A = this chain, B = another copy of it.
Amino acid sequence: MTGKLYGVGVGPGDPDLMTLRAHRLISEARVVAYPTLAGTESFARSIAARVIPDAAREIVMDVPMTTAREPAQAAYDAGAAEIAAVLEAGCDVVCLCEGDPFFYGSFMYLFARLSGRFDVEVVPGVTSITACAARAGLPLAARNERLTVLPGPLPEGELRARIEGAESVAIMKVGRHLAKIRGVIDALGFTDQAVYVERATLAEEVICPLVEAPEKAPYFSMILLTKGADPWL
């Protein structure tokens, strides 16, 4: 019997927003796995830190900081091989994913490499977009409204075209793209409807109108733009 691979969403940051299933799988794990970026702390691991058993083995996939894809691929190849060896030996592996594993998550790289050979279960988690909306007091979408999720690194022209034609918009991974995104939203005249959210649900959370956003945004920051209908109706 080979082991089973679990891709477990641990939610947006507050450990209390883990699902019951995530909590149980992690608390019973013998092997956990997670990626780190260029040796920095894993956000997913920090969310689950109090739940990971002391005796659990930890498989760390260190992904280098580069926009080139080959080095990241090599890191996931190596991580997948290490995880495969554990699964072959009959032991389950719990892979920790911030937010949801299939919503802008790196777990899909492991899923692509291992789901053909092993039993894999994806455990969905609370995403940053609904966490940010909850904390900001901004309904994301109602009734027949459309919701568009855009990554901040998109080119300026594409961001503009996509925001212009959208109703509610969530712009993820703002980080160093903040000035560009602000420029696009300003030019479209939507600044008054835009809210900036940083590290939602964590103690260091920041929520403010986009005009008051700090000059430097971390990777885990978001802009919500709600152009939708009146929730009174």
Q: Which residues of chain B are near A19, meaning CB under 8 Å? A: 11, 16-20, 126
Per-residue CB contact flags for chain A residues 139-171 toward chain B (1 = under 8 Å, else 0) read 111111111111101100000001000000000
Among A28-36, A86-94, A106-114, A184-192, the one that faces the other chain is: A106-114
Question: In the assembled complex, which residues on chain B have CB atoms less than 8 Å from the CB atom of A113?
Answer: 232
Which residue in chain B gives the minimum CB-CB distance to A170?
B147
A111: B residues at CB distance < 8 A: 137, 139, 231
Q: Is the CB of B102 within 8 A of A122?
A: no
Cβ-based interface call for A69 (8 A): yes
Interface: A127 (CB within 8 A): yes
Interface residue? A123 (CB, 8 A): yes
User: Is A98's CB within 8 Å of the partner chain B?
Assistant: no
The answer, yes or no, to whether A203 is at the interface (CB within 8 Å) is no
Interface membership of A5, Cβ < 8 A: no
List the number of copies, as a whole number.
Answer: 2
In the complex, which residue of chain B has the Cβ closest to the Cβ of A121?
B134
Pair A142/B104 contact, Cβ less than 8 Å: yes
Chain B residues, Cβ within 8 Å of A131: 124
A216 interface residue, CB < 8 Å from B? no
Measured CB to CB, the closest approach of chain B to A29, in angstroms, equals 16
Q: A104-B140, A113-B232, A141-B149 are in contact. List 11 more A-B contacts (CB 8 A).
A: A12-B124, A15-B20, A16-B21, A19-B20, A73-B232, A101-B134, A102-B134, A122-B134, A124-B126, A144-B151, A146-B150
Interface residues of A (CB under 8 A from B): 9, 11-12, 14-21, 23-24, 69, 73, 100-105, 108-109, 111-113, 115, 120, 122-127, 130-131, 133-135, 137-151, 153-154, 162, 201, 230-233
Question: What are 26 pairs between A and B in contact, CB < 8 Å?
Answer: A9-B126, A16-B19, A17-B19, A17-B124, A18-B19, A19-B20, A19-B126, A20-B20, A73-B233, A100-B126, A100-B133, A100-B134, A101-B134, A102-B130, A102-B134, A103-B147, A104-B142, A105-B139, A109-B231, A122-B133, A122-B134, A122-B135, A124-B131, A124-B133, A124-B134, A127-B127
